[in-house]
Amino acid sequence: MDRRTEMRQIMRVKAGEALTVEDPVIREVPLTIYLNGQEFVTLLYTPELPEMLAAGFLRSEGLIKDSADIISLRFDEEQSFLFVETKGSNLAEKLYGKRTITSGCGKGTVFYSVLDALKSNPVQSDFSLTSEQVIQLMKKLQEKAELFRRTGGIHSAALCSHTEILYFCEDIGRHNAVDKLVGMCLRDKIEITDKVLATSGRISSEILVKTAKLGIPILISRAAPTTLSIELAENLGITLVGFVRGRRFNIYTNQERIILS
């Protein structure tokens, strides 16, 4: 049984006829992360790899730097609680709380991150891809996602080398999918700064900021970017490639990392 889906009885209407059938639906479940004994954040996620999600979230938000900062991860499945113990980062926790409050939050936007990111150092990396590699990586992402397409409504993301998908995730949340990838890299002590992030979803400023914070030099997507994500990619040294479909794609920023072959 796949933990990511659940069979539901639904009424299917087709050409005026109604049929009661069982249909797979993507699961969405709350996960409450406790950081060093304190309730920290509740995420809604597709229940797979909760430890990786928690570790990746803390890394993405800058609360830990690498796996050595994590003392333990414990998942209470019944309550869907995830307990993380980290090495004394009380200051970071206080700062994090403070920033969340003063800048406000709502509807998927924690805007302070954008401002933060603008001030941080641009990504510097000689990592590059040929145009053929861009096309093939997106093809591989779509083939993997195919397996799960039957439920609709899922985001897929992959962390890739020049030619291979190293880690693949699907989640109802675009951010969750990326954070799970990051968590797996932490666990396996794999460098993320010479990798490509490939995603099925749109590139809004939040995904761009997350990519920049992690130091990933190239971001490729099947979908569209926004103006703000293009501006941020320009300023933060990220190569942004969108609309990768078949043998076509658009390069929005820092095109020197894409070798036209």
* Tokens encoding 31: 């996960």
DSSP for 135-159? Answer: HHHHHHHHHHHHTTGGG---EEEEE
How does DSSP classify residue 1? -
d(CA 171, CA 199): 11
35 three-class SS: strand
Kindly indicate which of the ranges 37-45, 76-84, 119-127, 159-167 contains the residues binding its own copies, using the contact rule CB under 8 A.
Answer: 37-45
Q: Which is nearer to its own copies, 30 or 88 (CB)?
A: 30
Q: Which stretch binds its own copies (CB under 8 A): 66-74, 79-87, 184-192, 221-229?
A: 221-229
37 is a contact residue toward its own copies (CB under 8 A): no
CB of 15 or CB of 91, closer to its own copies: 15
Residue 8 in contact with residue 135, Cβ under 8 Å?
Answer: no
Whole-angstrom Cα distance, residue 138 to residue 245?
8
* 118 sits in which H/E element: helix 112-119
Contact between 101 and its own copies per CB under 8 A: yes
**Are residues 82 and 45 in contact, defined by beta-carbon separation less than 8 angstroms?**
no
For its own copies, the binding residue among 51, 61, 69, 170 (CB under 8 A) is: 61
CB of 145 to its own copies, least distance (A): 14
CA dist 13 and 153 (Å) reads 20
Residue 226 in the binding site for its own copies (CB under 8 A): yes
Contact residues for 91 (Cβ-Cβ < 8 A; gap 6+):
none
Active site residue 185: no
Size of the site for its own copies (CB under 8 A): 74
- In the bound state with its own copies, the residue whose beta carbon lies nearer, of 188 and 239, is 239
CA–CA distance, 33 with 199 (Å, rounded to integer)? 25
Contact 173, 43 (CB under 8 A): yes
Contacts of its own copies in 162-201 (CB under 8 A): 172-173, 175-176, 179
Beta carbon nearer to its own copies, 68 or 261:
261
- Asked if residue 110 binds its own copies (CB under 8 A), the reply is yes
Is residue 42 involved in binding its own copies (CB under 8 A)? yes
- Contact window for its own copies (CB under 8 A) among 24-32, 140-148, 158-166, 188-196: 24-32
Pick 88 or 97: Cβ nearer its own copies: 97
DSSP H or E stretch at residue 183: helix 174-187
Assign residue 67 a region: left if phi > 0, alpha if psi is -120 to 50, beta otherwise?
A: alpha
Q: Is 88 in the site for its own copies (CB under 8 A)?
A: no
Is position 11 an interface residue for its own copies (rule: CB under 8 A)? yes
Contacting its own copies (CB under 8 A), which of 22, 121, 189, 248? 248
Compute the least distance from the CB of residue 24 to its own copies, in Å: 10
- Annotated catalytic residues are 105
